[in-house]
Structure 1
Amino acid sequence: MHDEPEFVEVLEKLRHSDFTYAHIETNFGHFSEVDAPARSDQIGSYFMTDPQVAHDLHWAGVDIASLANNHSFDYGVKGIASSIRHCDEAGIKHAGTGSDLEEAREPAYLETKNGRVALVSTSTGNKSHEWATHPKASLPGRPGVNALRARTRYVIGQEAARQLKEIGSQLGILREHHMNVEGSSGLLRNAEDGEFSLAMPNDQSTTGSNLFTPSDHFEVQTTADPRDKEGNLRSIAEAATMADLVLVAHHFSVSEGGRGDTAPGFVREFAHAAIDAGADVFIGHGWHKTLGIEIYNGKPIVYGLGNFFAQSEFVRRVPFDAYESWGHDVDRLTTLTPAAHPLHPGLTAGNLTWWSSAVLNFVFSGGKLAEIEMTPVELGREVSREAPLHRPVGSGDAPLTDGRPYIATGENAQAILERYQRLSADLGTELVIDGEVGRIRL
């Protein structure tokens, strides 16, 4: 029903290409066809979207989409299945989730008149019960996401290491290789000589979440889990054999501290390996921020797409878990509504990047990337740290944001493009601002 020229121009750009890719960070389904919420310890949104939106996205031009993300399992196995079913019915090819790991990890294929396209989709940051697994004997595989787990090491100075080990010893939670103590299952499974762990109460029956490495400096180091990395690279190699253009989508909701302007080490490691295995375009998302673009061996790595539609304020039903995690009085649950505030992260002023991004048009010639054209969009707020609202919805104390992409102009366009330009330059990529469009030429 929307016909504003600034919005229609976005749709025209989506429809103009041989094909259009999007990441879908929600679930499609009716509340009557899914499970109860499948997680309860995360402060965040619980996403379920009317299946008609899948048809709307395909009408708008979206042909192929990645589904693996930290919200894929919000409504359990039935939510995974309903999202797949409704994408199929809408005609959107998809990858990243499935009834077992083989299905979640396999490439999706899209036929176009200029060649065959493949997509491999993976996610980092999901809980262990959300990881898809293989079947074994009579045991079925677990439905879920194609996970790329990250291993984290905390590199600390020698004196700090001594003090931390002393604290851990006094608390009875220090774990080193030579120890044989109950409550340390798996904590040191990935440890190297000299490393130690602290058996925090919630980790004592898991593979753990901390490994400390004594050194001469302080640093957080992340690497991709070797088995997950190898499995995904096999899928990428398969796609490169079976298709003319290979996309790899990586959704990562974890970071090495705060979510800054540089992708963590395990993402850069996997991106380079994916290109080496045959990927033509690597697409990162998960921080809801635009990040820099790297050209690696002639292939583009987009580390952060940012948001394109930001409408989580309009989730129709919100479960108990969300109200509880945001501090609402759940003893008054029947009096609470989805209009309560706060209920969703990142949707306030003071967020420079939440309400903007760009349409990226990749131009290939002779099988090689020739140009990336970047058209900036804004989602209903000005592109500044204060993010003043200019397309409000509703009349509450905290008006909601329309959240649809409009072509950005003027200062908004310049702010979006200059951010991309600065962060891409840090990666050795020259982005030229041509009026209100950005261009990377090879």
Structure 2
Amino acid sequence: MHNRKDCRDGWKIAVAGECMLNRTFSMHEEPEFRGIKDILSCADVCYGHLEMNFSDFTACPSRGNWIGSYLQADPEVAKDLRWLGIDVMSLANNHSYDFGAPGLLDTIRHCQEADLVTAGTGRDLEAAREPGYWEGKAGRVALISTATGNGPDEWANLAKGTMAARPGINPLRIKMRFKLPHKEAEELRSIGKNLGILRVPGAKIEGNTPIGLDEGEFRLFMPSDQSKKGIGVFCEAEEFGIESECDPLDLEGNLRSVTEAQKLSDFVMVAHHFNLAEGKRGDVPPSFAVKFAHDAIDAGADVYFGHGWHKTLGVEIYKGKPIFYGLGNFFAQSQFIRRIPYDSYETWGHDMGQLINLRPSDEPLHPGLDRAQATWWSSALIRLEYDRQKQIKKITFHPVELGRDVTKEAPITRYTGSYAEGRPMLATGENARNILERFQELSKPFGTEIKIDGDLGYWGE
């Protein structure tokens, strides 16, 4: 058990980022690592995002043609997360269904057995969307977890009559429009018409019904889109651009969970995993994430955690409540996954005639390892301090590195075999400053001023 403080004078929250981990770690004793445990354990409650499945390696992969890693680890790792001080974890992400419903349900069970409170996945939509509740001396904390970017077969749904529900993730689907100037829009329409793949509202074309298109929109119907709704929507505009909006049904359902959590708990967290971007993944959060973050706080959330791009993004203070658009990686250990399915080797272009000789160490196999990038291997532990009215008073950033220098070249500094260790350590010196300056620069457009003092960053008092 952790020695939690009475928080009648306000909440103290510790925040960790994305956990892609598959090695136990509680035996390590370096001061830079034990310091992380001290920071997490001294808070009233600690949050982290789990981007991993826990199972006994018997579940089958649920998909093929998948560039992403198939994330799976021994359940003992879940116990070490609890040892480290983490109390609540969001589970909704684009890897939740790597091993189908069996893997998803196993992960929930193993987290529960490790005394971790979770949210975001479940045996039906109601279970996936409901808040997870953590009970502590300081009060009751609620967590709502949702994900944007999963395939339709990964969305949890509800039972209908004698038809069973589908286990899955709590979705926050979006509609994305690709805006084109008149000339380019006409050219694309012409290409689509000549290829026989143009779809417009109201058209009755054998083999496809253009559901999900509004007036003025069109799409190109690719063969792989058979029986799918509204993928790749184009519209005419004055200039090029991409815009996105949340699905009204999902937005309403998630905000209803936030309102419920506000009524039934003392502190409400909202976690949103998005692997989609409006174009390339830059350093600016997509508009649908900004919209949902604001709506969530308007509905009663006390903090919003965004993740999915595996790098830190800016911080916004909205109506006295913090919004973190990108927490970044807290553990990065996909390089140590013990068992790799056939599909990964095929997708990454290995010689399938030599399948029996292929091993988990044969590169390339995992995104994030195919190039050195400092943002993948660094983030920060974040400590939040609220007043009695749950308005944010102070934010402290404790930078962490995962075994590579936080520079453009990102050389490995802590090895396991031939790879970076991927375990967090408190960063110092140039590494700390580079991490903090990134937070500082990306938060400025939101009007958030982060100050740097030595190896720490601060906002507020």
2:455 equivalent among 422, 431, 436: 436
Distance in 2, matches of 1:103 and 1:243, equals: 18
1:370 and 2:393 aligned: yes
TM-score (norm 2): 0.93
1:111 equivalent among 135, 147, 153: 135
Match of 1:393 in 2: 416
Displacement after TM superposition at 1:388 (Å): 0.5
2:292 equivalent among 270, 278, 284: 270
Distance in 1, matches of 2:324 and 2:164, equals: 36
Cα displacement string for residues 109-142 of structure 1 (whole angstroms, at most 9, x for unaligned residues): 0112121100000011111111000111111110
1:309 equivalent among 308, 312, 331: 331
Distance in 2, matches of 1:332 and 1:255, equals: 36
Question: For 1:308, what is the secondary structure of its paired residue?
Answer: strand
Asked whether the equivalents of residues 380 and 401 of structure 1 are also in contact (C-alpha less than 8 Å), the reply is yes
Asked whether the equivalents of residues 24 and 65 of structure 1 are also in contact (C-alpha less than 8 Å), the reply is yes
Asked whether the equivalents of residues 23 and 67 of structure 1 are also in contact (C-alpha less than 8 Å), the reply is yes
Match of 2:358 in 1: 336
Aligned residue identity for 1:389: I
**Which structure 2 residues correspond to residues 107-256 of structure 1 after superposition, within 5 A?**
107-185=131-209, 187=210, 189-256=211-278
4+ runs of 1 displaced by more than 4 Å?
A: none
Asked whether the equivalents of residues 414 and 421 of structure 2 are also in contact (C-alpha less than 8 Å), the reply is yes
Cα displacement string for residues 312-352 of structure 1 (whole angstroms, at most 9, x for unaligned residues): 10001000011111111122211111011011101244313
Match of 2:63 in 1: 39
Distance in 2, matches of 1:212 and 1:349, equals: 33
Give the count of matched residue pairs: 434
Displacement after TM superposition at 1:191 (Å): 2.4
Asked whether the equivalents of residues 374 and 404 of structure 2 are also in contact (C-alpha less than 8 Å), the reply is no
5+ long unaligned stretches in structure 2? 1-26
TM-score (norm 1): 0.97
Asked whether the equivalents of residues 200 and 213 of structure 2 are also in contact (C-alpha less than 8 Å), the reply is no
Cα displacement string for residues 168-216 of structure 1 (whole angstroms, at most 9, x for unaligned residues): 111111112242112332x3x3322211111111113110311111111
2:314 equivalent among 283, 292, 302: 292
Cα displacement string for residues 280-301 of structure 1 (whole angstroms, at most 9, x for unaligned residues): 0000000001000011111111
Question: CA RMSD of the aligned region, Å?
Answer: 1.0
Distance in 1, matches of 2:154 and 2:310, equals: 21
Question: For 2:184, what is the secondary structure of its paired residue?
Answer: helix
Displacement after TM superposition at 1:159 (Å): 0.6
Distance in 2, matches of 1:216 and 1:426, equals: 26
Question: For 2:45, what is the secondary structure of its paired residue?
Answer: coil
What's the % identity of the aligned pairs?
Answer: 52
1:57 equivalent among 81, 92, 100: 81
Distance in 2, matches of 1:135 and 1:385, equals: 50
Residue range with higher mean Cα deviation, 152-161 or 343-352: 343-352
Displacement after TM superposition at 1:46 (Å): 0.3
Asked whether the equivalents of residues 199 and 208 of structure 1 are also in contact (C-alpha less than 8 Å), the reply is no
Distance in 2, matches of 1:81 and 1:131, equals: 14
Distance in 1, matches of 2:234 and 2:207, equals: 18
